[in-house]
Amino acid sequence: MRRGFLLFFVLVLALLPVLPVPEFWITQANYIGLYALVVIGLVLLTGVAGLTSFGQAAFVGMGAYTA
């Protein structure tokens, strides 16, 4: 079951670049992916590791400022 889901996921990811979708959808998908990475980083820092650090937020802010 898990292997089938992984195969389906890889297949969908392989087909995404060739789908004729509007540029707005691509931009939205990029924003969702970036925010998901930030949230995963915060969850790992505060939930799993039990640390409260503002360094991660500072790096995200610096990256957003320079982009």
pLDDT digits (tens, 9 = 90+) for 3-45: 888 899 899 888 887 888 898 988 998 899 899 998 888 888 7
Give phi and psi for 32, each to the nearest 5: -60, -45
Structure confidence at residue 7 (pLDDT): 92
Pairwise pLDDT comparison (67 vs 10), residue with the higher score:
10
Q: Is 6 exposed, middle or buried (0-12, 13-18, 19+ CB in 10 A)?
A: exposed
Structure confidence at residue 36 (pLDDT): 93
The full set of domain ranges for the chain reads 22-67
pLDDT per residue as tens digits for the range 48-59: 777 777 777 788
